[in-house]
Structure 1
Amino acid sequence: MAAAGPWCPVGGRRRGRAGRGAEEGSAVLRRLREARDDLLSSGFWAASAGAVRAPLAASTEPPARCVCYGLGRFSGCPSARYQLAFLLLLLEELGLPPEQCWLFDPAFSEQEVAVLGQLGLRLLPDNEEGKHDVEGSSTLFYMVHCGKALYNNLLWKNWATGSLSKMVIVGNSFKGIEERLLSRILERDYSYIAKELSPQLWDCVEEPTYQDCDDLEIIRKEEGGGRHSPTATQC
């Protein structure tokens, strides 16, 4: 298995940037390494990696890139930090270099953006609201902290057999979403999660709008969901 050594900032530390910001960034990286070690020593990583490997083994094309949504404030939130550590281990396991992984969460702070850059990861420039087109590339979507609308939007954007076959999603159970929602709400607001894959359904590609949805779990672009929006996700 991969992940034999600890993570280090890409290119090493920058000299001449002493001060509180650099110290805090180093502390975040240290806690991230500790989370990594915890995952490896507990056996959780080995068990979970096997569950992720199964659908990838059945795929004819291994992921060439990764997109991560809704990670959360990993500098202060332990669960978000463990999820970032798991993501980095997963990239190593799949042989995906960090620069082939793009992330977006409007809650990221400037310090967290800097840490992600030190790790070699990339940030998506805009709030896509989950509407990310795989564009013919086999893509792993890491969406552990995400709400229903992001999954629904992602499915809508790639609603074609050629695109869906190139997607692997690590995230919440669609079956669990179906069981927690009233059928009329699921079919009205989250129709792409609800759809069974019969041939007739591929002709319906209406973009979801969520006009009557009272509990929308997504930060919309018109609500200020830019890269460094002050609106934070729940930890």
Structure 2
Amino acid sequence: MYKVPTWRESWQTVAAEEALQRREVAAWDPETELQADSGVVLHRVQEAEEDLLISDFWSSALDAINRRLTKHLEQLKSPMGTLSNVLGNLHLDSSNESNMAPGSIPGENLVTRPCHLKCVCYDIGNFATCIIARNQRSFLLLFLEKCQIPRSHCWVYDPLFSQLEIAVLNTLGVIVLSENDGGKRSICGEPTIFYMLHCGTALYNNLLWSNWSADALSKMVIIGNSFKGLEERLLARVLQKNYPYIAKILKGLEEFFPQTSQFTDIFNDTSIHWFPVQKLDQFLMDIWAFQEEPDYQDCEGLEIIRNEKMTATDQNLL
């Protein structure tokens, strides 16, 4: 026979259920869950690094980077040698990032006092969920290690980063920028490598505008979409109107990247770009006098998320 519960029994049942719910809520800690998820993503990044390390692509890419960066550093009058020896002799030190004054002589900086080789990474993608972005992130980490660039000298930004990805990047030791500068970032006289795979064309154009001088460009290396490929795909009038700095610099750069059967979906159309002083010195002064800030109001198919503001905090970080 069914017994109707008394009011006291009903109250006790409700109280027990409420207590159970409170325990469940207390057990769910967002920070704890974030840490657990971060561990999963870090493990996946490590697995991607291991896969890259044993690939033919990595050995070919490292050799290509070795050759181009060694040439780049030679033109800055750095010591001769292999990539690891050359970069190792730069005495990288994260304790003081103001030793190199803007506009100073490149050779003097690298030979007579510490040089702070930097790396800036744009738009790497959602590596927590996308295997292509994860492989690109793993390549960056291996690149920093092989080139002996401290992770504290690497700044990263993507407007699509999730809180989980920001937490992972903080754990990895790189610096995550909080504001979108649209690629308008000056190197401030310090040798800088920009890692920008599959970025919008405007981002490269903005970067060139922000460093539009022979002195600044000679200190830069860009690992990203092939500029020659852009020239082939875009009509000349479109390139010159919408992306004038890319159009003007084509004769002042050299680019190369190994083509292998591996990771073709990840590093396709990617090149290492550097700017030999000999080529830059051949430009007429009129080219350098052109300093108009890019304006993409009439540009169709713009592949860039713009933000007009950049905080003083982010400016100071660099």
TM-score bracket for this pair, using the shorter chain length:
0.7 to 0.9
Structure 1: gaps spanning 5 or more residues: 1-15, 227-235
Mapping of residues 81-160 of structure 1, within 5 Å: 81-160=134-213
Tell me which residue corresponds to 1:54: 67
Deviation at 1:18, TM superposition (A): 7.0
| Structure 1 contact 55–168 (Cα < 8 Å) conserved | no
Matched-pair identity in %: 49
| Residue 170, structure 1, aligned to residue 183, structure 2 | no
Alpha-carbon shift at residue 52 of structure 1 (Å): 1.5
List runs of 5+ in structure 2 lacking aligned partners.
1-28, 77-86, 88-115, 253-282, 312-318
Output the amino acid matched with 2:137: L
- Taking the aligned partners of 1:134 and 1:19, their CA distance within structure 2 comes to 38
Letter in 1 for 2:123: G
Q: Is the Cα contact below 8 Å between 2:181 and 2:310 reproduced in 1?
A: no
What residue is the counterpart of 2:117 in the other structure?
64
C-alpha displacement of 1:44: 1.6
Question: What is the CA–CA distance in structure 2 between the aligned matches of 1:18 and 1:211, rounded to whole Å?
Answer: 42
Match of 1:212 among 289, 293, 298: 298
> In 2, Cα distance between the equivalents of 1:145 and 1:73?
13
Amino acid of the structure 1 residue aligned with 2:36: E
Alignment match of 1:29 (pick from 31, 39, 42): 42
Residues 126 and 17 (structure 1 numbering): CA distance in 2 closer, same or farther, change over 3 Å? closer
Paired residues of 1:71 and 1:84 also in contact (CA < 8 A): yes
- Scaled by the length of structure 2, the TM-score of the pair is 0.63
The offset of 1:125, in angstroms, is 3.0
Query: Which structure carries more relative contact order (alpha carbon 8 Å, separation 6+)?
Result: 1
Runs (4+) of structure 1 moved beyond 4 Å? none
Looking at structure 1, the residues matched to 143 and 216 of structure 2 have their Cα atoms a distance apart, in angstroms, of 22
Letter in 1 for 2:193: L
Deviation of the 1:19 alpha carbon: 3.4
The one-letter code matched in structure 1 to 2:153 is Q
Greater Rg over alpha carbons, structure: 2
Secondary structure at 1:168's aligned position in 2?
Answer: strand
Kept in 1: contact 2:182–2:306 (CA 8 A): yes
More divergent stretch after superposition (120-129 vs 18-27): 18-27
Aligned residues: 210
Query: Match for 2:294: what amino acid?
Result: P
The structural deviation recorded for 1:54 is 1.7
3-state SS of paired residue (1:19): helix
Going by fraction, where is helix more abundant, 1 or 2?
A: 2
